[in-house]
Amino acid sequence: MGKEKKAKNIFSIVGKIFIVLFLIVEIYPVFWILMSSLKPTQEFNLTPSYALPVKPYFQNYAKAWIQGKMNIYFGNSAIVTIVSLFFIVLLGTTSAFALTKMRWNLRDKVMKIFLSGIMIPTAVVLIPLYSMYHGLGLLNTRLSLILTYIAFGLPLTIFLLRGYLVSLPDDMIEAAVIDGASIYQIFTRIMFPLMKTGIVTVGVIQFYFRWNDLIFSMTFISDTKMKTVQTGLLYFSDMYGNRDWGAIFACIAISVLPTLIIYIFMNKMVIEGMTSGAIKG
């Protein structure tokens, strides 16, 4: 028994060491970005990259917001992400409900068509989408990104919500039908509230994907006024083409801020959604 207890203690210590190392690997890059965003340009040349700022230089954030045009890029990202999320959640919840709880012809085939969208590589559709948007005059518009985000967000959303809906019993729907409720009342008053945790889960996941998108925004947007945060970061420089690293790291910190806020406030609900059926299928 003594040897078994000793072995368990060793495994426990080793496990804790790995957890600490994992946390360091995860947290240190964010900490390094925040500290670098508070350094003036000359400190990057005079001190090691891992050194803390001698004195916080908050002017970097003013440069990032105005000179780096983060006010424009941040606004564009916020608009396309929020609008896309609204339609992804609206269409995803209604489609998942129809494909899971309603009985109609071709339901399984339609479901397979939606799910096949998960397997389509992004690179395959870039040229066809670019040609289509060019013909429709949608290049350099937010609509091109919104439509693309909705199309690529729906398959995964439907898949996750369908797995969540499967775990909900049909008895409630049958009882509501007997009481005379319409299909719209069943969805809005019964199923939608019960799907709240699953909706938050897919909403957070889709937010991360859409906010951090680079490939679509680089392909469809070339106008500076329409660029999103991720593409704007690639071209940040002063009027002489020099790199102001402090301001660049401030831009990165600003771009990461929404995801950190959402993670902090939505973390418990996302974990609850995942453990209660949101990713079962």
Q: Name all domains of the chain by residue range, CATH numbers in brackets.
A: 16-57 (no CATH), 69-280 (1.10.3720.10)
Contact status, residue 37 vs residue 249, Cβ threshold 8 Å: yes
Q: Please, what is the angle between helix 142-166 and helix 107-116, to 10°? A: 130
Predicted confidence band at 3 (pLDDT cuts at 50, 70, 90)? low
CA-only gyration radius of the chain, Å: 24
Torsion sign (Cα): 137, 139, 142, 144: positive
The pLDDT score that the predictor gives to residue 280 is: 45
User: What is the per-residue pLDDT across 11-23, written as a single tens digit (0 to 9) for each?
Assistant: 778 888 888 888 8
- The 8-class DSSP code of residue 187 comes to I
The pLDDT score that the predictor gives to residue 275 is: 60
User: What is the per-residue pLDDT across 166-210, written as a single tens digit (0 to 9) for each?
Assistant: 888 788 888 888 888 888 888 888 888 888 888 888 898 899 999
Mean pLDDT of the 107-117 span: 85
**pLDDT higher than 60, residue 240:** no
And the tokens for 245? 């690293």
pTM tops 0.85, yes or no: no
Torsion sign (Cα): 261, 264, 265, 266: positive
Torsion sign (Cα): 231, 90, 206, 113: negative
